[in-house]
């Protein structure tokens, strides 16, 4: 019973983490062509999005807990994959996204190399989104198996 609940909560929080990251991907093609002034204006829409980091932390804790509960079952590998993917979103964020946030004071200052910083920021978000999608997919894999064969539970 705890395993099923942990799985459902993991799916829920990873899905919540996936939504804003996919929003970044959907915006990316249009934002790469914006002028310096327009890009600076558009970036202000992300004020307050730092709070979404709490969802990522809960998603990571939920998937780690699911991995621990799943040990010795067929669901452990997908749970571990999801955990690693969510952890890697943090590596991408702290390694590539956050340094740009610092260099631009969260896009309130556009330094001379703003175009390079924009590219790094946008593509780091795209990489994070793909990792979130991989985590979500990994969590759905055992769920699909349970629907077809309840013995996998």
Q: Print the domain residue range for 43.
A: 2-152
Q: Is 112's pLDDT higher than 50?
A: yes
Count of the separate structural domains present in the chain: 1
Question: What is the DSSP code (8-state) at residue 73?
Answer: S
Q: Is 63's pLDDT higher than 50?
A: yes
Q: What is the pLDDT of residue 149?
A: 44
Q: Is 132's pLDDT higher than 50?
A: yes
Q: Is 57 helix (H, G, I), strand (E, B) or coil?
A: helix
> How many other C-beta atoms can be found within 10 angstroms of the C-beta atom of residue 61?
15
Average pLDDT, the chain: 92
The rounded distance, in Å, linking the Cα atoms of 2 and 110 is 49
The rounded distance, in Å, linking the Cα atoms of 55 and 37 is 31
The rounded distance, in Å, linking the Cα atoms of 20 and 13 is 12
Query: H or E element: which one contains 98?
Result: helix 98-103
Single pTM value for the model: 0.90
The rounded distance, in Å, linking the Cα atoms of 130 and 18 is 9
Of 8, 131, 21, 145, nearest in space to 63 by CA: 8
Which range, of 42-46, 59-63, 83-87, 146-150, averages the lowest pLDDT?
146-150
The rounded distance, in Å, linking the Cα atoms of 73 and 152 is 8
Contact 62, 87 (CB under 8 A): no
Band (pLDDT 50/70/90 cuts) for residue 151 is very low
What are 20-40's pLDDT values in tens digits? 999 999 999 999 999 999 999
Q: What is the pLDDT of residue 146?
A: 55
Of 113, 82, 86, 79, nearest in space to 99 by CA: 113
Percentage of residues of the chain with pLDDT beyond 70:
92
């Amino acid at each position: 019973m705890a395993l099923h609940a942990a799985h459902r909560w993991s799916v829920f929080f990873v899905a919540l983490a996936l939504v804003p990251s996919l929003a970044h991907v959907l915006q990316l093609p249009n934002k790469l062509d914006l002028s310096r002034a327009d890009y600076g204006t558009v970036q202000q829409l992300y004020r307050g999005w730092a709070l979404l980091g709490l969802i990522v932390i809960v998603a990571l804790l939920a998937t780690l807990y699911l991995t621990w509960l799943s040990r010795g079952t067929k669901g452990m590998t997908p749970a571990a994959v999801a955990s690693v993917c969510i952890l890697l979103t943090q590596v991408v964020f702290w390694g590539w996204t956050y340094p740009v946030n610092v260099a631009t004071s969260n896009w309130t200052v556009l330094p001379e190399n703003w175009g390079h910083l924009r590219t790094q920021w946008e593509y780091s978000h795209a990489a994070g989104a793909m990792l979130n999608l991989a985590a979500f997919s990994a969590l759905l894999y055992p769920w699909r198996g349970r629907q077809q064969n309840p013995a996998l539970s």
